[in-house]
Amino acid sequence: MATSDEVVAAAPAPEAGLKHKLERKWTFWCYNQSKPKQGAAWGTSLRKVYTFDTVEEFWCLYHEIFKPSKLQINADFHLFKTGVEPKWEDPECANGGKWTVTSNIGRKTNLENMWLETLMALIGEQFEDAEDICGVVASVRQWQDKLSLWTKTAANEAAQMSIGRKWKEIIDVNDKITYNFHDDSRTKGATKGRYTV
């Protein structure tokens, strides 16, 4: 499995030619916490990998690098709007939260399918409340993988419910998914979801 430094080094240069521009720029990030340094703050292993704004760049990056099956345990891939860091402390994320779905049975294939469907929905602007979305995180863990869709205004219940319903439809999940406020996670650790669809 690739480390975050290997992923950054392996980012392919997209081919020249006709490009299909996206509505906005997006940035892939990689985080590897499998070997944390003693006393290191969260995020010290977070690496910005590549910013893109065309369909062709997206597919080149996705096929070469950004599949969750290429991650080692305790590593994450992130796709966030350019200018937004995948951290609670980022001003765009500070008052937000996240929808989360976990993957257990057939998890690698399932996570990969949900990840790809989510990426295509984000870059294809398929969400009615797209301005409220910050990005998505794929997390590979020992016993369970998860996908989290981050948004910026947790208190806007109507927007969050709309996003949650649409995401659930996109990733074709029948189980309930929950939304947690970043503030709750910061102050209380593990929390019960505020919204459910």
**Whether 91 and 166 share a structural domain:** yes
Other CB atoms within a 10 A radius of the CB of residue 50 amount to 21
**Whether 106 and 22 share a structural domain:** no
Has residue 11 got a pLDDT over 70? no
**Whether 57 and 91 share a structural domain:** no
Q: List the domain range (segments joined by +) for residue 189.
A: 87-197
| Residues 146, 122 contacting (CB under 8 angstroms) | no
How far is the C-alpha of 7 from the C-alpha of 47, rounded, in Å? 9
Has residue 6 got a pLDDT over 70? no
**Whether 142 and 192 share a structural domain:** yes
More confident residue, 196 or 4: 196
* Structural domain includes residue 71: no
pLDDT average, residue stretch 134-144: 90
Question: In sequence order, what are the beta bridge partners of 78?
Answer: 29, 137
Q: What pLDDT does 141 receive?
A: 86
* Structural domain includes residue 170: yes
* Structural domain includes residue 148: yes
* ∠ Cα 6 98 20 (to 5°): 60
b/e burial code for range 106-122 (CB count within 10 A of at least 16 → b): ebeebbbebbbbbbebb
**Whether 131 and 192 share a structural domain:** yes
Q: What pLDDT does 186 receive?
A: 63
**Whether 188 and 117 share a structural domain:** yes
Q: What pLDDT does 36 receive?
A: 55
Q: Residue 186: phi, psi to the nearest 5?
A: -65, -40
Has residue 172 got a pLDDT over 70? yes
Least confident of 33-47, 94-108, 173-187: 33-47
pLDDT average, residue stretch 145-167: 96
As for how many domains the chain has, the answer is: 2
Amino acid at 182: H
Average pLDDT value over all residues in the chain: 84
**Whether 178 and 125 share a structural domain:** yes
**Whether 3 and 96 share a structural domain:** no
Two structure tokens written together for 98: 């996240």
Q: What pLDDT does 3 receive?
A: 45
* Structural domain includes residue 80: no
% residues pLDDT > 70 (the chain): 79
* ∠ Cα 80 63 169 (to 5°): 55
CATH number, domain containing residue 164 = 3.30.760.10
pLDDT average, residue stretch 125-131: 95
117: left (phi over 0), alpha (psi -120 to 50) or beta: alpha
pTM of the model: 0.84
Provide the pLDDT confidence category of residue 193 given band limits of 50, 70 and 90.
Answer: confident
Q: What pLDDT does 8 receive?
A: 45
Q: Residue 22: phi, psi to the nearest 5?
A: -90, 165
**Whether 122 and 61 share a structural domain:** no
